[in-house]
Amino acid sequence: MKIGWIGTGIMGRSMASHVQKAGHELYLYNRTKSKADDLIRRGGTWCDTPVDVAGNASIVFTMVGFPYDVEEVYLGEKGILSIKNTCRIVVDMTTSKPSLAKTIADVASERGIASLDAPVSGGDIGARDATLAIMAGGDEKTYDEVLPLFQLMGKTISYMGTAGAGQHTKMCNQILIAGTIIGVCESLLYAGRAGLDEQSVINIIGKGAASSWSINNLGPRIVQGNYDPGFFVEHFIKDMGIALQEAEAIGLSLPGLALVHQLYVAVKAQGHGRMGTQALMLALKKMNGE
């Protein structure tokens, strides 16, 4: 199939490569062209704008950064939906706002195009190993059609409901991640202060009831002092901001999420916005005089 792919960063590059390896023809666009070089070398075709991608492909996937990037790529002057009847289906896999997913679905449908919101979970490792969890919203028939392509990128894939349901599910994911990452950091901070070997602590508690993706994957990076991004602090702040706004709109108080959000705002203010989310440890260490 002719597949469009917009956004070839940490996640998008790996995800697109699985689609390419399965034999599909890729039409590519990214803000920084060099990040698509690998995919172009392996036979992908560069396009100068999102609408050019859509003009060449039947299904277009997007994996950009923030909701304003999603807006630009879909609804901007040279956006995918700037003209009628380009591609048949668009799939936004960025973590973005449920309300924007609904707007895109409406505009796409006016242009004769079907759309899905299908954010993912599983991190840089899940993207690399094609083991992502993919949570989709939109028309169910469209989901059934795209499912074989999702199966190239992920292991656990679910249809969650109408447009926006994928993004709402991803917010549930991020609320839970916020709770686990602060637990991981505080647990390892305590381990260090108590004189324990932190990696040995991870090896045992990561197998019991306290097990989580974060302790087993981000814990060792913290122990090694590796704060390189798998998942950017500034993207997590974006996600928690969306979840807090959505929660307020439905009259929900989420004090745990609000606390972790504030701590991450401090991590960013300390200059660590482009580090990985495990950099929460740096802010907690600072608070504790370490």
**By the criterion CB under 6 A, which residues form the site for ligand NAP?**
6-12, 30-32, 35, 63-65, 69, 72-73, 94-95, 120-121, 123-124, 230-232, 235, 239
Farthest CA pair distance, the chain: 64
Nearer to ligand NAP, 32 or 253 (CB): 32
User: Minimum distance between the CB of residue 187 and ligand NAP, rounded to whole angstroms?
Assistant: 21
Residue owning tokens 């059609």:
145
3-state DSSP of the chain? CEEEEECCCHHHHHHHHHHHHCCCEEEEECCCHHHHHHHHHCCCEECCCHHHHHHHCCEEEECCCCHHHHHHHHHCCCCCCCCCCCCCEEEECCCCCHHHHHHHHHHHHHCCCEEEECCEECHHHHHHHCCEEEEEEECHHHHHHHHHHHHHHEEEEEEEECCCHHHHHHHHHHHHHHHHHHHHHHHHHHHHHCCCCHHHHHHHHCCCCCCCHHHHHHHHHHHCCCCCCCCEHHHHHHHHHHHHHHHHHCCCCCHHHHHHHHHHHHHHHHHHCCCEHHHHHHHHHHHCCC
Q: Which residue's C-beta sits nearest to ligand NAP?
A: 9
Smallest gap from residue 103 Cβ to ligand NAP (A): 16
- Cβ pair 96, 67 in contact under 8 A: yes
> Could you confirm whether 141 is annotated as catalytic?
no
Least Å distance between CB 88 and ligand NAP?
21
- Collect all residues with Cβ–Cβ distance below 8 Å to 139 and sequence separation of at least 6: 114, 115, 116, 162, 163
* For ligand NAP, the closer CB: 121 or 201: 121
CA distance 237 to 268: 9
Give the residue with the Cβ less far from ligand NAP, 41 or 141: 41
Of 2, 21, 102, 170, the active-site residue reads: 170
Minimum CB distance to ligand NAP, residue 288 (Å):
27
Q: Find the shortest distance in angstroms from Cβ 14 to ligand NAP.
A: 9
Q: How far is the CB of 94 from ligand NAP (least distance, A)?
A: 4
> Which residues are part of the catalytic machinery?
170
